[in-house]
Amino acid sequence: MLFGIMLTMDVLIIGALAFIPYITRRTQLFGVSVPPDQADDPELARLKGRYRNIMLALGVVVIAATAAFAVGADPTDPLPVWVAVGLALGYAAAAFAVYLPFHRRVKAIKAAEGWTHASAPAVVTASTEPAAADMVSPAWLLAFPLLIGLGLLADWLVWPQVPDTVPTHFGADGVADAYSPKGFGVIAPLLLTQVFLAVVFVGVYFLIRHARRQTDAANPVESLEKDRRFRRLNSIAMILLGCAVLVVLETMQLTTMTGSMGLLPTLAPALVLLLLAAATMWVMMFHVGQGGSRLRSRRDDATDAVNYDDDRFWKLGLFYFNPDDPALFVERRFGVGWTANFARPLTWIVFGVFFALVIGLIVASAAMAGS
């Protein structure tokens, strides 16, 4: 079962990273803006295919290595799990290393071909005003405290049956191998983690809602409609994923408290739910595309206007740095979702608060677990 979970996660990660060029906006290839009339250039299509093939080949290596360590391994040996995690992280790092030469190649092609917007009117088509209609109702965010509350109720109901010593660590086979005395410290770490992640998911909801809306100057009405659908689908998927994560954590909590059976058999239904939520986001990402660019629309409001060429504000095509842009979050140029405007001081404050909360969570959890 553990190997199946690791394999499923590998497939999702590999699929997401290998096909990024096909889900990013057509006019943004490897972090470089491309004129609409050149987006289907044969050389650019070949670069997309080459990147995809390299990443898929690396993905086959990752899956084979994961299988080599997992199949036939001692179920009590944690090495296959750590190897699988390390391979997944290594694959993500390799994706960045593979991306860089493709980014430089597209920049070189753009410069050599003179693909600039100097001869056409430059139009900035962006807005920072939030639109509530773009999102699923914020009332759905109440699902997070509701699930945490139900989890606390379940903890209270089973507390009389909790043994005097409670499992606090499980081996790779899901069998407990470390214990602590019964007390609040048993439930505190996972409870704090649930609260922290609920806050993060709420923050992501408002990030999606307030991030700069980017439209296409050539089709402003159509692209705005697609962007609204994109945000709404993202907000729904984010809430579903958040609920699945909280269910998994509460299942772990109850398993830890009761210690009645191995971790993996108990977690199986919750993990399946989490994988389904992740797979749903994966499918949505490919169906929708960045900013809804892959969605169909019946609107046709084509104009002769072109988008503002802001390549100079994108470092390596990945990091946005524009002190004159009031937006804190903007669309990614490579992939799906949003990234920060690193030129805004408030951005660094937000990141600082986030990492301070993470460190605080780790310290508090360790202190309470040891109490």
Q: Tell me, yes or no, whether 146 and 167 share the same domain.
A: yes
Q: Tell me, yes or no, whether 91 and 220 share the same domain.
A: no
Q: Tell me, yes or no, whether 115 and 195 share the same domain.
A: no
Q: Tell me, yes or no, whether 94 and 146 share the same domain.
A: no
Q: Does this model's pTM top 0.85?
A: no
The pLDDT tens digits along the chain (371 residues) read 556 667 777 888 888 899 999 988 888 899 998 887 788 889 999 999 999 999 999 999 988 888 877 666 555 555 666 777 788 889 999 999 999 999 999 999 998 888 765 444 334 444 444 455 678 888 999 999 999 999 899 888 888 887 777 666 655 555 565 666 777 767 778 888 899 999 999 988 988 888 888 777 777 777 788 888 888 888 888 898 898 889 888 887 887 777 654 455 555 666 677 677 777 777 878 888 888 888 776 655 566 666 677 888 999 999 999 998 888 888 888 988 889 999 999 889 988 888 888 888 777 766 665 55
Give 255's Cβ-side CA count (13 Å radius): 22
Q: Tell me, yes or no, whether 21 and 159 share the same domain.
A: no
Q: Tell me, yes or no, whether 348 and 241 share the same domain.
A: yes
Q: Tell me, yes or no, whether 209 and 282 share the same domain.
A: yes
Q: Tell me, yes or no, whether 293 and 165 share the same domain.
A: yes
Q: Examine the fold and report which residue of 85, 120, 155 is the final residue of a domain before the chain moves on.
A: 120
Q: Tell me, yes or no, whether 141 and 251 share the same domain.
A: yes
Q: Examine the fold and report which residue of 71, 101, 120 is the final residue of a domain before the chain moves on.
A: 120
Number of structural domains (the chain) is 2
The string of DSSP letters for 148-194 reads: HHHHHHHHHHHGGG--SEEEEEE-TTS-EEEEEESSHHHHHHHHHHH
Q: Tell me, yes or no, whether 215 and 134 share the same domain.
A: yes
Per the structure, the complete domain to which residue 254 belongs is given by 127-305+310-371
Q: Examine the fold and report which residue of 120, 145, 166 is the final residue of a domain before the chain moves on.
A: 120
Q: Tell me, yes or no, whether 235 and 165 share the same domain.
A: yes
Instruction: Round to whole Å and give the CA distance between 326 and 103.
Output: 27
Q: Tell me, yes or no, whether 68 and 180 share the same domain.
A: no
